Structure 1
Amino acid sequence: MADGKKICSLLFEQFPSPEIALNFSSPLELLIATILSAQCTDKRVNIVTKPLFERYRTVDDYSEAELLEIEQYIHSTGFYRNKAKSIKTCCQIINKQFKGSVPSTMEDLLTLPGVGRKTANVVLGAAFGIPSLPVDTHVIRVSNRLGLADSKDPDKIELQLMKQVSRNDWMHFATSLILHGRQICKAIKPECGSCYIYSECEWKEKPDYS
């Protein structure tokens, strides 16, 4: 396996204070934005959530909303019917079981429809500041190329990465890997010649510049 601490250090030099790309001002907004981000770009989600968050501000607003109206706001994110249903049902459950507040534990978040470990980790880390390590497609690709992980299973990768950096750095590490994947270690035509962690990378297909 690659040297996780060394790679982490190099990533942190490049991204000293990374932030997630989704716009939000509350745990509820981040939960909804993350649900919408499934099979959709963060850029598109941010376009959609601007009017959505102006129209619906509370758990009650979503709980009482007509599904058709929510669907109209989020149509361009794809799978909009399922997402609208998840959002409305999530908010109804939050109202009934969590006194109207988005829960702040993995166990409770996973009881909400449309919420998996990645979404829960994003909410825990970015909205509540609780150590967490969300694994998305960028983290899967980059961690495997670098040699930090040897699996395509997000849950296994999460555990492997958690062991390589301190608990308080989990979210920083994940966000840095995501940004590195978007900017340098792209799925198609990765920019290995511009990579600041090239020397630490164990990807067998990386070009040889020696």
Structure 2
Amino acid sequence: MNKKDIPIFAQKLNEMFPDAKTELYYTNEFQLLIAILMSAQATDKQVNIVNRNFFKFLKEPNDGAKMEVDYIKDFINSISFYNNKAENIKKTSVILSEKYNNKIPKTINELVTLPGVGIKTAKVFLAVVEDAPYIGVDTHVHRVLNRLGIVKTKTPLETDKKISSGFTKDNHAMLHNTLVLFGRYHCIARKPKCETCPFSGKCNFFKKNKI
């Protein structure tokens, strides 16, 4: 698959997932940001199990700012890297409470200054809450785009840099959630469902492996 196929690719994904949205559990923007932060190196399912209880107590930055780090750890200790994540939740809550008056900044440059919030987290957050033209490149998106041959990169960060030249802003808004879901449920890491994939005819991975 090459760049000229991208509009058709994007439209087909939209048809496959017409109601695509994040699968993370949250009730407000702050909780969404924290959920995305927690989802690094963890599944949405794992994070949701934790947060359906944790978010009863963590509803806004003020709540997190008042919590002791060990208290946060007790809630999230089933999540990978929970020690670092608990520290970041505390620090981010304090900054949002004191500097932003409990509001969440809406620019990438501001978001990435928050502890635990990298470029991917910032882009995912803005894509969800602002319908911003960003694709948060996680392992699923990185895998799909490389298998199809749209990019040839070794890391999600490299993929993030590459895709800006290949997708229009309209494509970005449409593709964020559909790409994640396609990678999560179809183009999975092991035993991808190539036999039912509408893109196998143009997929470099399929041509090479003939699954």
With normalisation by structure 1, the TM-score equals 0.93
Asked whether the 8 Å contact 2:123–2:135 carries over to 1, the reply is yes
Residue in 2 that maps onto 1:62:
64
Asked whether the 8 Å contact 1:132–1:170 carries over to 2, the reply is yes
- Equivalent position SS for 1:151: coil
Q: After superposition, where does 1:168-183 map in structure 2 within 5 Å?
A: 168-183=170-185
Q: After superposition, where does 1:38-57 map in structure 2 within 5 Å?
A: 38-57=40-59
Using the TM superposition, give the Cα deviation of residue 35 of structure 1 relative to its aligned residue in structure 2, in angstroms. Answer: 1.1
Q: Deviations over 1:97-132 (max 9, x none)?
A: 222211110000000111111111111111222221
The letter of the residue matching 1:50 is: R
Q: For structure 1, which segment, 170-179 or 43-52, has the greater mean C-alpha deviation from structure 2 after superposition?
A: 170-179
Using the TM superposition, give the Cα deviation of residue 34 of structure 1 relative to its aligned residue in structure 2, in angstroms. Answer: 0.8
Asked whether the 8 Å contact 1:143–1:149 carries over to 2, the reply is yes
Q: Which runs of 5+ in 1 are unaligned?
A: none
Residue in 2 that maps onto 1:158:
160
Q: In structure 2, how many angstroms separate the alpha carbons of the residues matched to 1:23 and 1:59?
A: 17
Q: Of 55, 77, 88, which aligns to 1:86?
A: 88
Count of aligned positions:
208
Using the TM superposition, give the Cα deviation of residue 166 of structure 1 relative to its aligned residue in structure 2, in angstroms. Answer: 2.4
Using the TM superposition, give the Cα deviation of residue 184 of structure 1 relative to its aligned residue in structure 2, in angstroms. Answer: 1.5
The letter of the residue matching 1:18 is: A
Using the TM superposition, give the Cα deviation of residue 164 of structure 1 relative to its aligned residue in structure 2, in angstroms. Answer: 2.8
Q: Of 115, 119, 139, which aligns to 2:117?
A: 115
With normalisation by structure 2, the TM-score equals 0.92
Q: In structure 1, how many angstroms separate the alpha carbons of the residues matched to 2:114 and 2:99?
A: 10
Asked whether the 8 Å contact 2:7–2:171 carries over to 1, the reply is no
Asked whether the 8 Å contact 1:10–1:197 carries over to 2, the reply is no
Using the TM superposition, give the Cα deviation of residue 146 of structure 1 relative to its aligned residue in structure 2, in angstroms. Answer: 0.4
Using the TM superposition, give the Cα deviation of residue 188 of structure 1 relative to its aligned residue in structure 2, in angstroms. Answer: 0.8
- Equivalent position SS for 2:97: helix
Q: In structure 1, how many angstroms separate the alpha carbons of the residues matched to 2:164 and 2:14?
A: 16
Q: For structure 1, which segment, 7-16 or 161-170, has the greater mean C-alpha deviation from structure 2 after superposition?
A: 161-170
Q: For structure 1, which segment, 133-142 or 6-15, has the greater mean C-alpha deviation from structure 2 after superposition?
A: 6-15
Q: In structure 2, how many angstroms separate the alpha carbons of the residues matched to 1:173 and 1:27?
A: 21
The letter of the residue matching 2:149 is: G
RMSD, aligned α-carbons? 1.6
Asked whether the 8 Å contact 2:186–2:197 carries over to 1, the reply is yes
- Equivalent position SS for 1:55: coil
Q: Which runs of 5+ in 2 are unaligned?
A: none
Percent identity (aligned): 36
- Equivalent position SS for 1:61: helix
Residue in 1 that maps onto 2:203:
201
Q: Deviations over 1:12-46 (max 9, x none)?
A: 22112211110112110011101111111100101
